[in-house]
Chain A
Amino acid sequence: MRLRLAALLAAALGTSLLLMPATAMAETTPTPTPTTGGAAPDKNPIVEGANITVTLKDLNAGKGEPKPVPGVSLTVFKDSATGEEQGTQVTDQTGRVSIGIPGNGKYVVVLDPKTLPDGVKLSGKGETTKTVQVKLASSNFVQFQIGAVVVEKASLGSKIIDGTRSGVISGLLIALAALGLSLIFGTTGLTNFAHGELITFGAIATYVFNRGFGLPVIAAGVLAVVASAAFGFLQDRGLWRPLRNRGTGLIAMMIVSIGLALFMRSIFQYGFGGSTKTLSEYVVQGRDSYGPIDLSHKEIAIVLVSVLTIAITCIAMMRTRLGKAMRAVSDNPALSASSGLRVDGVISAVWVLGTALTGLAGVLLAVQQQVNFQMGFNLLLLVFAGVTLGGLGTIWGALIGSLIIGLMVELGPVFGVPASIKEVGALAVLILILLVRPQGILGKAQRIG
Chain B
Amino acid sequence: MAAELSDARAALAGVSNEPGAPKPDPIITGSNITRTFGGLKAVDVEKIEIQRGVITALIGPNGAGKTTLFNLLTGFDEPDSGQWAFNGTELGKVPAFKVARLGMVRTFQLTKVLAKLTVIENMRLGATGQRGEKFFSAIFKSLWSSQEDANTKRADDLLARFKLDAKREDFAGSLSGGQRKLLEMARALMVDPELIMLDEPMAGVNPALKQSLLGHVKSLRDEGRTVLFVEHDMDMVRDISDWVIVMAQGQIVAEGTPQSVMADQRVIDAYLGAHHDTDITEIDVEDLEAEADAELDAEEKKA
Contact = CB atoms under 8 A, between A and B. Distances in A.
- Indicate if A touches B (C-beta under 8 A): yes
Interface of A: 247, 334, 338, 448-449
A91 B301 CA distance: 53
15 contacts: A247-B301, A334-B298, A338-B294, A448-B71, A448-B76, A448-B77, A449-B67, A449-B68, A449-B70, A449-B71, A449-B76, A449-B108, A449-B109, A449-B110, A449-B199
Nearest to A249: B302
Contacts of B70: 449
A170 B129 CA distance: 54
Q: Which 10 A-B pairs have the closest CB atoms?
A: A449-B67, A448-B76, A449-B71, A334-B298, A448-B71, A449-B108, A449-B109, A448-B77, A449-B70, A449-B76
B118 to A, nearest CB: 21
Contacts of B298: 334
Interface string B149-182: 0000000000000000000000000000000000
Contacts of A247: 301
Interface string B214-240: 000000000000000000000000000
A361 to B, nearest CB: 32
A334 B199 CA distance: 22
A247 to B, nearest CB: 7
Nearest to A333: B298
Interface residues of B, number: 13
B218 to A, nearest CB: 25
Residue among A334, A338, A448, A449 having the largest count of chain B Cβ atoms under 10 Å: A449
A183 B77 CA distance: 28
Given A448-B71, A448-B76, A449-B67, 12 more contacts: A247-B301, A334-B298, A338-B294, A448-B77, A449-B68, A449-B70, A449-B71, A449-B76, A449-B108, A449-B109, A449-B110, A449-B199
Contacts of B77: 448
A337 B178 CA distance: 26
Interface in B56-79: 67-68, 70-71, 76-77
A247 B303 CA distance: 9
Contacts of A449: 67-68, 70-71, 76, 108-110, 199
A139 B38 CA distance: 74
Nearest to B298: A334
A449 B73 CA distance: 13
Nearest to B74: A449
A141 B252 CA distance: 88
Interface string B95-121: 000000000000011100000000000
B109 to A, nearest CB: 6
Interface in B4-39: none
Nearest to B110: A449
Nearest to A247: B301
Contacts of B199: 449
B231 to A, nearest CB: 15
Contacts of B301: 247
A134 to B, nearest CB: 65
A247 B297 CA distance: 13
A327 to B, nearest CB: 15
A449 to B, nearest CB: 5
Nearest to B70: A449
A58 B110 CA distance: 65
Contacts of A338: 294
B280 to A, nearest CB: 26
A213 to B, nearest CB: 47
Nearest to A250: B302
A443 to B, nearest CB: 13
B129 to A, nearest CB: 26
A446 to B, nearest CB: 10
Contacts of A334: 298
Contacts of B71: 448-449
Interface in B274-303: 294, 298, 301
Nearest to A337: B298
Contacts of A448: 71, 76-77
A202 B199 CA distance: 51
B139 to A, nearest CB: 29
A340 to B, nearest CB: 15
A449 B108 CA distance: 6
Contacts of B109: 449
A25 B257 CA distance: 85
Nearest to B66: A449
A449 B74 CA distance: 11
B80 to A, nearest CB: 13
Residue among A247, A334, A448 having the largest count of chain B Cβ atoms under 10 Å: A448
A45 B193 CA distance: 68
A334 B108 CA distance: 20
Contacts of B67: 449
A449 B35 CA distance: 15
B112 to A, nearest CB: 9
Interface string B185-201: 00000000000000100
A334 B76 CA distance: 25
A413 B110 CA distance: 50
A204 B67 CA distance: 52
A246 B67 CA distance: 32
Contacts of B294: 338
B290 to A, nearest CB: 12
B58 to A, nearest CB: 13
Contacts of B108: 449
A449 B109 CA distance: 6
A274 to B, nearest CB: 42
A448 B67 CA distance: 9
Nearest to B38: A444
A334 B68 CA distance: 21
Nearest to A338: B294
A247 B109 CA distance: 23
A449 B67 CA distance: 7
A448 B199 CA distance: 12
A334 B299 CA distance: 11
Nearest to B199: A449
B297 to A, nearest CB: 10
Contacts of B68: 449
B228 to A, nearest CB: 14
